[in-house]
Amino acid sequence: MSDIGMAMADRFGLQLVTSGNDSKVDIVFLHGLRGDVVTTWSKDFMFWPGQLLPVDIPDARIYSFGYDSSITHTEVGNVTETKVNRVAGDLLTNLAEERSKTQTDDRPIIIVAHSLGGLVAARLFVHGERRRKDSNANSTTKYIRGIIFLGTPFRNSIVPGLPGSISNILQLVGVDTQEQTLGLLGVDFERLNELTSAFSSVLKERQGSKDPNDKIDAFFFYEALPTKIGSESIQIVEKESAQLPGCGDGIPVKADHGNICKFKSAKDDDYLIIISVMRKILMPPNAESSEGYASKRVWVNNFGKAVNVGDEFTIYSQHVTL
């Protein structure tokens, strides 16, 4: 583990990874069920948010948000506050307080979320966008310029009661898939549909705004490789579950569900795409074409070589076996 990762002894709350060099953007990492502020983002002792990202985006202040992602309650009863809602509220409060304390309230925000952490990010965004314009919640979410989803299941199954992406995730981390567990998490059929619909609606509203200050991008990365569970290999989050049509680009990653968020080298193809996406998010609104993403000439500098992000996605998709 990196020195930075080892130093983050506190696994809960908003943990500062690096304050950045004359930082101009906040990047927040959000793990999923039974994840961790460090290990979720680490591979072969490489904690990439602390070791790779500060080199490529040196003006970023980077945080990793941790929360108790175990399922410890057995009596659900009438769930009034699900885990997804509670964690989203905690993160929004922590982020607003930190930005206020450091007088950086107007700094752009990028959220990078893995698995069910993406549902927390979606709930956070919906909550803030639907609050009063002068509220702390809205004053924070209005500066979110991009959300990067890594294997987030926006749908479980089109037929209630049948196994799906979320059930696969629970099975992967050793949690029962009973309806009461889904209800406690806030990812049962009804609540998940409600969240997906609400998030899609507020996201499209922001994306359709003529105000350049409302600029926001969403990228939906999905796993192209199956995950081994026992003697089986299954696709944990299917491509169709990991994307929201009309809300942003879907991008394949040549990894399974657990490794979609881990990179061990700055030359990793998937890492380069993540960096390109972040740079695209941070482009000034007036630098973009109104002709649609596929036709935009979004140039980034990857290790001294100019690369068009749109072309990069096209080329990359060709060598991923789906």
pLDDT for position 183:
75
pLDDT for position 138:
86
Nearest Cα to Cα of residue 274 among 122, 110, 143 = 110
Secondary structure E strands in the chain: 13-18, 25-30, 42-43, 46-47, 60-66, 109-114, 144-150, 217-223, 227-229, 232-234, 249-253, 299-302, 305-308
pLDDT for position 286:
66
Number of domains composing the chain = 1
Question: Residue 26 corresponds to which tokens in the numbers above?
Answer: 């906040």
Q: What is the pLDDT of residues 200-228, one digit of tens each?
A: 999 999 999 999 989 999 999 999 999 98
Q: Could you read off the pLDDT tens digit of each residue along the chain, which spans 322 residues?
A: 344 544 555 688 999 999 988 899 999 999 988 889 999 999 999 999 999 999 999 999 999 999 886 655 544 444 456 889 999 999 999 999 999 999 999 999 999 999 999 999 999 999 999 887 777 888 899 999 999 999 999 986 544 444 577 777 877 766 665 666 677 777 777 888 899 999 999 999 999 999 998 999 999 999 999 998 877 888 888 898 999 999 999 999 999 999 999 999 999 999 999 999 999 999 887 664 433 333 333 333 333 333 344 444 433 333 333 3
CATH code of residue 21: 3.40.50.1820
pLDDT for position 99:
94
User: Bridge-partner residues for 221, per DSSP?
Assistant: 150, 251
Strands 249-253 and 217-223: parallel
- Beta-carbon-side half-sphere exposure of residue 105 (alpha carbons within 13 Å): 12
Residue 41 resides in a domain: yes
**H-type helices in 25-78, by residue range?**
48-51, 53-56
Separation of CA 182 from chain center: 20
Residue 300 resides in a domain: no
pLDDT for position 162:
46
- Residue where the block lists tokens 């549902």: 119
Residue 301 resides in a domain: no
pTM above 0.75, yes or no: yes
Residue 322 resides in a domain: no
Domain that holds residue 252: 3-291
pLDDT for position 304:
35
pLDDT for position 69:
67
Residue 296 resides in a domain: no
Rama region for 117: left / alpha / beta (φ>0; ψ in -120 to 50; rest): alpha
Residue 7 resides in a domain: yes
Residue 156 resides in a domain: yes
Residue 53 resides in a domain: yes
